[in-house]
């Protein structure tokens, strides 16, 4: 656990990506309901005029932001230049393409990495520069159990989420001294509608994978039969409380990982068992490949 951070006793300004649905929209509503300043963003605001009216009617702003844009970090620089400091940056925008690892096209993998890693990384780099000068800020990355223990057909998605999670671990240590917090939110399956927006890879599954877990998962997702067990609003309420240090987050503001979801708890146990087994089998050699000193 990192050292305890201090949070200003004032409304915070939140910039949240991917607010047109799911977690982003849920968190945006919670932020506004609690009297904070909201800058909601989405790739195509014209598709959700009713949500723009809702947010702006409560004093917030809604901006067009495509995290795949190589210049997306300039949005934060422009807001800061306008006197709009970004206290909390929430990287939530994302999507998933399902296929077995050998079958992805290079473009599919690059598209996922752009949205899940490079885009958030650009926004984070821009936000941290300003937060460091003010000696306060919170970076929140909405991640997934796939980053811990990826299921078949989710290799490319897991790679993107895992990349951002690993970067966040280093970032947290670098910026702790500047009163900047980094929180990775690890999520299980939730009622965000992700199953209704399933994208299968363009290459058909090779015959050898017929009947495999990968095929079953791809079919489950693409037919809309996927049944999540988590409530997105409960999850985002927990995220909000950990950021502001209230409710379940009271006295826990310095925590760097927030696991959410019953199925996520099981996956964490799987990962713990995975490494425990490795140390049981290879613990002796792990500790005996040291350099001999003369």
Active-site residue identified among 26, 98, 161, 209:
161
Active-site residue identified among 42, 143, 144, 153:
143
Active-site residue identified among 98, 117, 157, 240:
157
Per the annotation, the verdict on 143 as an active-site residue is yes
> Cβ distance 140 to 89 under 8 Å?
yes
Question: Token digits for 184?
Answer: 């990775």
Question: Token digits for 185?
Answer: 């939110």
Catalytic (active-site) positions = 143, 157, 161
């Amino acid at each position: 656990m990192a050292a305890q951070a201090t949070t200003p006793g004032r409304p915070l300004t939140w910039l949240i990506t991917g607010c047109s649905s799911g977690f982003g929209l849920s968190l945006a509503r919670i932020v506004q309901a609690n009297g904070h300043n909201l800058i909601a963003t989405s790739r195509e605001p014209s598709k959700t005029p009713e949500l723009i009216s809702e947010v702006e009617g409560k004093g917030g702003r809604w901006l067009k932001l495509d995290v795949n844009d190589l210049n997306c970090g300039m949005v934060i620089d422009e807001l800061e230049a306008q006197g709009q400091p970004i206290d909390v940056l929430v990287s939530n925008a994302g999507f998933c393409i399902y296929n077995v690892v050998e079958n992805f096209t290079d473009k599919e993998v690059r598209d996922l990495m752009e949205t899940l890693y490079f885009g958030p990384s650009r926004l984070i780099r821009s936000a941290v520069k300003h937060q460091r000068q003010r000696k306060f800020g919170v970076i929140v990355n909405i991640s997934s159990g796939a980053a811990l223990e990826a299921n078949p057909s989710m290799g490319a998605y897991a790679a993107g989420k895992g990349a951002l999670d690993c970067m966040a671990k280093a970032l947290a240590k670098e910026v702790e001294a500047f009163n900047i917090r980094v929180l990775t939110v690890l999520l299980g399956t939730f009622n965000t509608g992700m199953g209704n927006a399933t994208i299968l890879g363009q290459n058909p599954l090779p015959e050898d994978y017929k009947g495999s877990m990968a095929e079953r998962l791809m079919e489950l997702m693409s037919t809309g039969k996927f049944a999540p067990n988590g409530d997105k609003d409960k999850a985002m309420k927990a995220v909000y409380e950990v950021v502001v240090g209230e409710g379940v987050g009271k006295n826990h503001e310095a925590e760097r990982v927030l696991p959410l979801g019953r199925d996520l708890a099981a996956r964490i146990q799987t990962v713990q068992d995975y490494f425990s087994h490795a140390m049981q089998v290879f613990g002796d050699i792990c500790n005996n490949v040291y350099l001999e000193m003369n």
